[in-house]
């Protein structure tokens, strides 16, 4: 094999007609791919696949000896990671649907245009590269880098930002100072808190409580406990969560919702390392490591007078900020695969595969609910799924409804705040120019997929197609 072969693994073209094989090879080479294998006898396919690692397969359906449909079934069973592009003269909808159900990556009709074939091969190669990157990152990500990688085993990520956070967590895990964990709802603050607990080698328990919505009495009783007779109905002693977390870790989530009165008691707990159960005048010491989490901006709450400055600075000793999913899109493929497997197992189904278009679609969404929202989307889709290949339809319907709402970037901002960048422009673009820029940006984000670009812009695909025709765009556009 040539040193500069591209792709690294050969593209296998299977067709019983010699002229077709030569034509496809010439076309593929003209697209920049020089690592190509040809197979004219379908009986040789099995031996080729067993001896050679194949990147992509171009497969004819109608062949003597062994039909393309039989070969497709065998490949899908024994080599499911190899994308198979069906190239045939059979223009039958039922046949195309059946091939896609059996795992075909694409269905192309002869004669195939160079552009159409190039788009399909390029997409398949990109998907393979993405899978390999995920496998390599999963296999090598923690090797010789983290001292305690097992502590983060419950966090699926390929993000460099997250890896930096893991290093920081290792560095501060032995500190007895409180640790503030911030991030949007659903990013996994409790998972980081658990990782910090695991890193500490504490013999005590990990105790987590979400204090959002709890009034002062409930917070005090939940955290500090009470003695018998402390109030009406207190018929026995109740140990608070602080005592249950002795020798371990106490994680207080949504600390930004804590009332001023409860903030004072938490500050005393952090400063004095002791607390008073309700009804008791005898303080109890604690050795629990205190971690707190919030999705709110404590600095803004401090400035508005809703959060005590002394408590704010006390909590800032160590600060772990988890980036939202929209800032680490490289995690989406890994999380998607994980949730598909998890949902399929929970629902008693086989894990479905999905078209590359799904990743492109998900990458254009801001995910205000972050990982928790992605998980919910996947579970809903799997619950409705029938067959092998996952449809994008369920995701498109769900995301279309979400896109009509306010994005995380604009949430809580006035119209003037959101349009502040416009006021800085010396010359405003015309409506026509602005529309063109929006369309071009949507096409860029969707990787030239018209269906997804239309979803982003909130218009029909037909309307987008007309705009593109008027713009006389020279870019490549997928036919999905």
For the stretch 46-95, pLDDT in tens is 999 999 999 999 999 989 999 989 999 999 889 999 999 998 887 878 88
The answer to whether residue 40 scores a pLDDT higher than 90 is yes
Cα-based angle 233, 239, 241 (whole degrees, multiple of 5): 120
pLDDT tens-place string over residues 158-177: 998 998 899 888 888 877 78
Report the mean per-residue pLDDT for the chain. Answer: 84
pLDDT value of residue 317 = 80
Dihedral, 294, 300, 304, 306 alpha carbons, nearest 10: 10
Residue 148, C-beta contacts closer than 8 angstroms, at least 6 positions apart: 170, 198, 199
Report the distance separating Cα 175 and Cα 317, nearest Å.
10
pLDDT value of residue 443 = 83
Residue 444, C-beta contacts closer than 8 angstroms, at least 6 positions apart: none
Q: Evaluate whether 154-323 and 329-405+428-471 have a shared fold.
A: no
Cα-based angle 39, 44, 49 (whole degrees, multiple of 5): 85
332, 367 in Cβ contact below 8 A? no
Report the distance separating Cα 62 and Cα 69, nearest Å.
8
pLDDT value of residue 404 = 54
The count of residues in the chain is 480
Residue range 154-323, CATH number: 3.40.50.300
36, 26 in Cβ contact below 8 A? no
pLDDT band per the 50, 70, 90 thresholds, residue 323: very high
289, 268 in Cβ contact below 8 A? no
Report the distance separating Cα 169 and Cα 181, nearest Å.
11
pLDDT value of residue 414 = 45
Report the distance separating Cα 260 and Cα 358, nearest Å.
46
pLDDT value of residue 410 = 40
Q: What is the token pair recorded at 370?
A: 């972050």
The answer to whether residue 419 scores a pLDDT higher than 60 is no
pLDDT value of residue 170 = 85
Averaged pLDDT, 421-447: 76
Averaged pLDDT, 30-45: 90
| CATH architecture of the domain formed by 11-138 | 3-Layer(aba) Sandwich (3.40)
> So where are the chain's domains?
11-138, 154-323, 329-405+428-471
pLDDT tens-place string over residues 287-303: 889 999 999 999 999 99
Backbone dihedral angles phi then psi of residue 317, each to the nearest 5 degrees: -55, -45
Backbone dihedral angles phi then psi of residue 413, each to the nearest 5 degrees: -100, 150
Model-level pTM?
Answer: 0.60
pLDDT band per the 50, 70, 90 thresholds, residue 444: confident
pLDDT value of residue 141 = 46
The answer to whether residue 1 scores a pLDDT higher than 60 is no
pLDDT band per the 50, 70, 90 thresholds, residue 134: low
Averaged pLDDT, 202-228: 88
User: Domain 329-405+428-471 - what CATH class?
Assistant: mainly alpha
Dihedral, 415, 416, 418, 421 alpha carbons, nearest 10: 150
């Amino acid at each position: 094999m040539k040193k500069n072969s591209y792709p690294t693994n050969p593209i296998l073209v299977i067709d019983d007609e010699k002229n077709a094989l030569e034509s496809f090879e010439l076309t593929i080479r003209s697209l920049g791919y020089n690592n190509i294998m040809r197979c004219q006898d379908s009986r040789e396919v099995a031996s080729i696949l067993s001896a050679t690692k194949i990147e992509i397969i171009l497969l004819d359906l109608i062949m003597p000896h062994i039909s393309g449909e039989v070969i497709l079934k065998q490949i899908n069973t024994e080599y499911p990671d190899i994308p198979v592009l069906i190239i045939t003269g059979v223009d039958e909808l039922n046949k195309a649907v059946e091939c896609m159900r059996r795992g075909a990556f694409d269905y192309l009709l002869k004669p195939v245009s160079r552009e159409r074939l190039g788009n399909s091969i390029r997409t398949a190669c990109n998907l393979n590269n993405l899978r390999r990157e995920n496998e390599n990152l999963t296999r090598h990500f923690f090797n010789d880098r983290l001292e305690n990688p097992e502590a983060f085993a419950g966090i699926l990520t390929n993000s460099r930002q997250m890896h930096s956070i893991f290093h920081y967590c290792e560095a501060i895990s032995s500190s007895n100072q409180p640790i503030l964990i911030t991030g949007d709802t659903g990013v996994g603050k409790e998972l980081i808190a658990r990782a910090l607990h695991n890193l500490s080698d504490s013999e005590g328990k990990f105790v987590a409580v979400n204090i959002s919505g709890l009034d002062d009495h409930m917070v005090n009783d939940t955290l500090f406990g009470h003695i018998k007779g402390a109030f009406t109905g207190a018929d026995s002693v109740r140990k608070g969560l602080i005592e249950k977390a002795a020798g371990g870790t106490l994680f207080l989530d949504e600390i930004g919702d804590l009332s001023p009165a409860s903030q004072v008691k938490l500050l005393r707990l952090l400063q004095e390392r002791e607390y008073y159960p309700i009804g008791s005048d005898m303080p109890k010491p604690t050795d629990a490591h205190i971690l707190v989490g919030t999705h709110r901006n404590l600095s803004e709450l401090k400035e508005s007078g809703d959060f005590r400055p002394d408590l704010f600075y006390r909590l800032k000793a160590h600060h772990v900020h988890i980036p939202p999913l929209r800032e680490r899109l490289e995690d989406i493929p890994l999380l998607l695969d994980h949730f598909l497997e998890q949902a399929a197992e929970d629902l008693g189904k086989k894990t479905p595969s999905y078209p590359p278009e799904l990743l492109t679609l998900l990458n254009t969404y801001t995910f205000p609910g972050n990982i928790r929202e992605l998980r919910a989307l996947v579970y809903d889709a799997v619950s409705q799924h029938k067959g092998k290949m996952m449809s994008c339809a369920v995701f498109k319907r769900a995301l279309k409804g979400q896109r009509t709402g306010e994005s995380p970037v604009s949430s809580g901002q006035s119209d003037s705040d959101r349009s502040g960048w416009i006021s800085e422009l010396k010359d405003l673009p015309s409506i026509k120019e602005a529309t063109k820029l929006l369309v071009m940006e949507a096409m860029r984000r969707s990787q030239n997929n018209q269906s997804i670009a239309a979803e982003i812009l909130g218009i029909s695909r037909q309307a987008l197609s007309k705009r593109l025709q008027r713009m006389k765009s020279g870019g490549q556009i997928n036919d999905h």
